[in-house]
A and B are shown apart, each in its own frame.
Chain A
Amino acid sequence: MKKEAASFLVLLLTGVLHAAGIPVPVFETTFRTDASGRLLDNTPDPVTGKLTPGAAIRKSAIGNVLELEGKLNNGAVFNSAPKLLLPDKFTISGWVWFRNAPDPGGERPYRVYTFFFRGEQQRICMSDCVSTQFSADGEFFTLRTPPKTISPNAWTHLAYCYSVPEGKHYLYVNGVKQAERTASVIKKRIPPFPIPNNAPLQFGSLGYFFPLKGCIARPRVYPETMTPEQIIAGEQDMVRLLLADLERRSAAIPGTEELRTKLRRIMEQAVIPLNVLPGFYAELERFQKVQKLRKNAGTGGAPLIYSVVDPMEPDIFYRDSDLPESGRNGTIRIAAARNEYEPASFLVKALSELKRVLPVVEELKRRDGVSIPPSAIDIRLVKQIVVAGRTLSPNVLIHDDKLLKVDPLKMEMSLRLSKPEGVRYHNVTAKTPVVLPKREQTAEKFPVYDAKQLQALDLQPGVTQQFWLTLKTTPDMQPGLYSSRIRLTADGTTLCFIPLKVRILPFSLPDPKTNYDPSREFTTSVYFFDTADSGTDAGRDGAINYVMPLSGKQFQACLKNLREHGIRHPTIIMGNWFPGWNSWVKPQAPRVYPDAELMKQRMKERIAMLKEAGFPLRPLYLHTGGNVGFREFYDRKQHRELLRKFLAEGTAFYRELLGHDEIYHYGLDEAEDERLRKEFEVWEDMRAMNAKVYTTLKAANIPLVAGKVDVAVAVHKPEKSNAKLMHDNGGRLWVYAQPFASQASAYPHRKGYGYGVYFADYDGICNYSFNHWDWRTIPWDMHNQNRFYYAMPTADGIIDTPGWEGYREGIDDVRYATKLRQEILRAGSDPRKKETAEKASCFLDSVRIDTMEFDPAWTRLQIIDFILDLTEEQK
């Protein structure tokens, strides 16, 4: 009878899979056992196996599963057989679950979990990602998924495919390809070759290492490399059981009707993608957390809770972040001078479904009735967007939640395009990158518009939503303490108040100056990819990527944004080559501009817009093709007169436009060794011809270039000794890549480009970049490769990011320090303030940026205190 039952199973398995066009596995176990306790294989010509200590079989919603305690060598071991030799192609798959991810700092044998192991040479392991290693003859074929592709408390399907005929190996998680390679990694970098393996199959442990503490269900081995469609089709029974189980568990939690409806709807589909599972598990966990919060006495039955946070702190908040206790029911406090932008922030977590939530700022009032309109405070939401690796990151500050539709269940995102005929949503999280020709990356094809003011949004229970406030002060604001509130409303009903206090300081901030010489400008720059069209034709398309020309409106919006973020000298990168400068250098820099007049016209218009936007344009920093095109190929004998001619022509052009000839030309980007030395001659001649040179380099090269360039833009942690070396040789020193531009966190940019540079006596900052996105896809596309940018584009302007706000805050820190230095100097002649001025001076000289205790916010607070001491006495 038992034989008949086994035969039935085999036939059923074969029949079902064949019918679906799926290869039949040569091994599959659902952990059935025979009378003697041997584990059974469901396939024809079955092998048998056994459990090792620390492993047990238990029933679950998806049938029998292997439950593992996390003991060394725990698992299930199956004998090998000729059918499992499979040298040329195979797929190993199965389901895994664990409550907690392995601790990377724990004992070495327990830092990783094993799903599959075979001999010493084949393994599939998990931590916060999935990694595989298949090896033979000293060659390693390894794959690793991005982090967070596997989560605790969620059944996850893994599939590894190895194919000699295709010359590839792949790793799928929940039916989605997460890693792929075509060559080995250590020695010869050769494509997959046959790896015959006759070792037993082991699940749950790598011998005496990496035991899984969790469960494994229905592992399979196929004699083919599966396609994703086949992988998904072959697991439909399991995914349906899992979804049904999720529905059953959700039913016990109030408020999950919508979730259950979604589950039921998904289950009606003919083919259910496996990658819906993580989202549903995350949703269930969210509801479970909300249920716990509701039971917590501290919430008092409120529909939401809030916490005030510092937007410039190192912590980043995600959908599932807990609200910090320190800011619960707190007061927002902002202190700002009369010409700056100052941020603040709070988090909200709804405890039930809330529709049309809108924080509303009330009028700010001083005790004597003087008021500031609520419009002085702009509120945006910190939107979690889907980024590379299909994870969420709080990368953008927007007014309209509907600009980006994010489905956290499917990890998909679509971008709203507001066309004349109506709104449609464009998928920016396709399975593969949507590569577009440059000419298609226009604002006309991608009309992305954010609202001008915060729009109401729906909040789901248990999801943390961060709001970002920006106070914009103006010189006409009267100093003093203003009180107000932020009303958190839903559908017009006030749910909650957040107290708000704003101190308008009795002074304005100057432009930033250096610490070592308060009369010297502290240059605030950033790499600006400024592809502009002629800009005056209102009908011309703008761009959604820098590779196409910005429209005039877009260009002006960029300039306004740059200026509002404290930039005074953006590095002009695109299209600024004066016509004809590079025509001689083929093939090294084959940029030829046939239409010189058009180039001149565009540059004139660009300069006019920069002037109109309030940029001083003195000096002018141009990214001019590496030593005006001569790069490292300059030959004095041959090229000196050419150089003189180019510079004279260009300088005359700019002198006419700007009234001066202080033009800085870019050297070779990050040149080293011989390439760097080869530039010395052209630099010498350029400077002798009254042109100026700036270039990027490593710290170690500062002694080489000191005295040879006017500005070195160095990538390293700022050191006073380097600044002194440049100054002693008549040059200046800026910094970049400390860190490179990024979006989600403000703190490192505030510190790295504010006091971190200022107190090291540096002369400026010029980080990479404002808007250099990968040109192959639109910047909003999840697959957009380039990571080093601060801003996101729209059809009519720019969307800010927390990182960009941090850059501004750093510049403002320098402005505050500059203000204090100025007041100290001013106080020198006033005997009443002498002592305070000395204390303030000592304080500034004693700031140590390289200690772990250094806190830019605390430093600024003390600077404000000193400024008030020195200025209030002037009344």
Chain B
Amino acid sequence: MTKHILLVLITGVFFLPAPLLPASELRTAAASFSELSPELDGEIERDPAWSGIPWSRELFYLHRRKQPPVNATRFKTLYTGDALYFAVECREQDISKLKRIYNFGEFWNYDNLELFLQPKEKELMQLVGNYEGMKQNIVARDVARRTGYKTSWLCAAKLGGDRWYLEICVPFYLLGVVPDRGDVSMPFNLCRNSVSASERSTWSFQSGSFNNVKDFGRLVLRKAPENRRSALRQALSRPHWSALEERWLAIRNDPAWKPVFDRNPREYAELMRYDRKRMREPDYAARFYGNLSRLETYSGKLRTEKRERILKRLFEETGHEAQGGMP
């Protein structure tokens, strides 16, 4: 009798319907808090910040095909008090075949890595870097508006004998979300264009174009340690030092800003004296931000005033114009 029962049980096991598992359809990567910030120089192996972080294990897929590419890619990720970091290793079968870059504005024509993140609805970010540390990005208009056009992020690269590394720093100010209350999960994908091997590959299988969010995997930012949550929240409201620097460098020599500088000499003088090395100090960056904000607020005010003046000049608007409507 027991034998029969056993036989039935064994048979039953073989004929049970297979569990309805997703069969690796959803990939998830996780980033945890790190006290150490990576030195953004493309050097991964010797950087203590990366030493405890494991490389991703899953093979990339060829674009739209469930096969691994010739040129393998793997990555690590972590976050600090003010930014999310990625370290990516891009293997090359023949490094001499990397395409010389003429105009990285057309980044899709060159060997590159594309990082896609969508932390919020309508805020898709596409950050592109290459083996020379050049970068391009496409961010949704909503992101630009939310950040006051401070959409800076950083990358650095290092070329090896049979691979190249890319380090990416995405400030939380740009990202717009932090894991202060719990894990934060968002659509995410890494895509690689390898001109050298004539192939394109993706971490999460992609049946459509690279920016097809439906086929993204997930990036999970693990909840921050309690003593770091406040700093993270601050990072949301204060632009990253790199964004501040980028913005300042963009306007510093812009003649259009001269009237703003002339009317705010103290802020201008302080900004002109800024010490790049000190920008990572929170207090220093906060002061820098304060000065820059005052210039930008004044610039915004000037723009509004100028616009009103021009419209008044053209259309003699007094602000009491009759509105349209019923007769």
Binding site for B on A (CB under 8 A): 73, 103-109, 111-112, 120, 127, 142, 186, 199-200, 207-209, 300, 302, 306, 329-331, 333, 335, 481, 485, 494-499, 501, 503, 698-700, 703, 716-717, 719, 722, 842-843, 845-846, 848, 851-853, 858, 861-862, 864-865, 868
- Residues on B with C-beta less than 8 A from A335 are 314-315
- Residues on A with C-beta less than 8 A from B250 are 851
B327 interfacial by beta-carbon distance below 8 Å? yes
Query: How long is the Cα–Cα vector from A495 to B207 in the complex, in angstroms?
Result: 53
* 0/1 interface trace, chain B 141-185, chain A, CB 8 Å (1 if under): 100100001010000000000000000000000000000000001
Tell whether A862 pairs with B306 under 8 Å between CB atoms, given A105-B187, A111-B214, A208-B22: yes
- Residues on A with C-beta less than 8 A from B322 are 499
In contact, B314 and A864 (Cβ under 8 angstroms): yes
Query: How long is the Cα–Cα vector from A498 to B323 in the complex, in angstroms?
Result: 8
Query: How long is the Cα–Cα vector from A623 to B313 in the complex, in angstroms?
Result: 47
B278 interfacial by beta-carbon distance below 8 Å? no
B52 interfacial by beta-carbon distance below 8 Å? no
B254 interfacial by beta-carbon distance below 8 Å? yes
- Residues on A with C-beta less than 8 A from B18 are 120
Binding site for A on B (CB under 8 A): 17-18, 20-23, 25-26, 64-66, 102-103, 105-106, 109, 118, 120-122, 124, 139, 141, 144, 149, 151, 185, 187, 207, 213-214, 216-218, 250, 254-256, 258, 306-307, 310-311, 313-316, 321-327
In contact, B106 and A842 (Cβ under 8 angstroms): no
- Residues on A with C-beta less than 8 A from B326 are 300, 302, 495-496
Q: Tell me the dominant secondary structure on chain A's binding face.
A: mixed
Which of A208, A497, A843 sits near B256, CB closer than 8 Å? Answer: A843
Tell whether A852 pairs with B25 under 8 Å between CB atoms, given A501-B315, A699-B105, A700-B106: no
A-B interface, 3 closest residue pairs, ranked by CB to CB distance from nearest: A207-B20, A842-B255, A852-B144
In contact, A208 and B310 (Cβ under 8 angstroms): no
Which of B21, B103, B216, B315 sits near A333, CB closer than 8 Å? Answer: B315
Query: How long is the Cα–Cα vector from A300 to B103 in the complex, in angstroms?
Result: 57
CB distance from A141 to the nearest CB of B (A): 13
Q: Identify 9 new A-B residue pairs, CB closer than 8 A, beyond the known A107-B185, A108-B217, A302-B326.
A: A105-B122, A207-B20, A331-B323, A497-B324, A503-B314, A503-B315, A699-B102, A846-B254, A852-B151
Tell whether A846 pairs with B102 under 8 Å between CB atoms, given A108-B26, A331-B321, A499-B321: no
CB distance from B271 to the nearest CB of A (A): 18
Q: Which residue of B lies closest to A106 (CB)?
A: B121
- Residues on B with C-beta less than 8 A from A716 are 103, 105-106
In contact, B17 and A200 (Cβ under 8 angstroms): yes
- Residues on B with C-beta less than 8 A from A111 are 213-214
- Residues on A with C-beta less than 8 A from B103 are 699-700, 716, 719, 722
Query: How long is the Cα–Cα vector from A868 to B306 in the complex, in angstroms?
Result: 14
In contact, B109 and A700 (Cβ under 8 angstroms): yes
In contact, B310 and A845 (Cβ under 8 angstroms): no
Query: How long is the Cα–Cα vector from A719 to B250 in the complex, in angstroms?
Result: 17
In contact, B307 and A861 (Cβ under 8 angstroms): yes
Between A and B, 7 residue pairs with Cβ closer than 8 Å are A105-B118, A186-B65, A302-B325, A331-B323, A331-B324, A843-B255, A848-B254
- Residues on B with C-beta less than 8 A from A186 are 64-66
In contact, B315 and A103 (Cβ under 8 angstroms): no
Query: How long is the Cα–Cα vector from A862 to B18 in the complex, in angstroms?
Result: 68
CB distance from A379 to the nearest CB of B (A): 16
Query: How long is the Cα–Cα vector from A306 to B325 in the complex, in angstroms?
Result: 8
In contact, B314 and A329 (Cβ under 8 angstroms): no
Which of B141, B217, B310 sits near A861, CB closer than 8 Å? Answer: B310
CB distance from A232 to the nearest CB of B (A): 31
Which of B218, B256, B324 sits near A842, CB closer than 8 Å? Answer: B256
Q: Which residue of A lies closest to B212 (CB)?
A: A104
- Residues on B with C-beta less than 8 A from A104 are 213-214
CB distance from A712 to the nearest CB of B (A): 13
Query: How long is the Cα–Cα vector from A503 to B312 in the complex, in angstroms?
Result: 11
- Residues on A with C-beta less than 8 A from B20 are 73, 207-208
In contact, B102 and A864 (Cβ under 8 angstroms): no
Query: How long is the Cα–Cα vector from A499 to B310 in the complex, in angstroms?
Result: 19
Query: How long is the Cα–Cα vector from A303 to B254 in the complex, in angstroms?
Result: 51
In contact, B325 and A329 (Cβ under 8 angstroms): yes
- Residues on A with C-beta less than 8 A from B216 are 108
Query: How long is the Cα–Cα vector from A698 to B108 in the complex, in angstroms?
Result: 12
Q: Which residue of A lies closest to B314 (CB)?
A: A503
Query: How long is the Cα–Cα vector from A512 to B189 in the complex, in angstroms?
Result: 45
In contact, B213 and A105 (Cβ under 8 angstroms): yes
In contact, A865 and B316 (Cβ under 8 angstroms): no
CB distance from A780 to the nearest CB of B (A): 30
In contact, A858 and B149 (Cβ under 8 angstroms): no
CB distance from B10 to the nearest CB of A (A): 21
CB distance from A853 to the nearest CB of B (A): 6
Query: How long is the Cα–Cα vector from A516 to B321 in the complex, in angstroms?
Result: 42
Tell whether A105 pairs with B325 under 8 Å between CB atoms, given A700-B106, A852-B141, A861-B307: no
Query: How long is the Cα–Cα vector from A843 to B258 in the complex, in angstroms?
Result: 11
CB distance from A755 to the nearest CB of B (A): 15
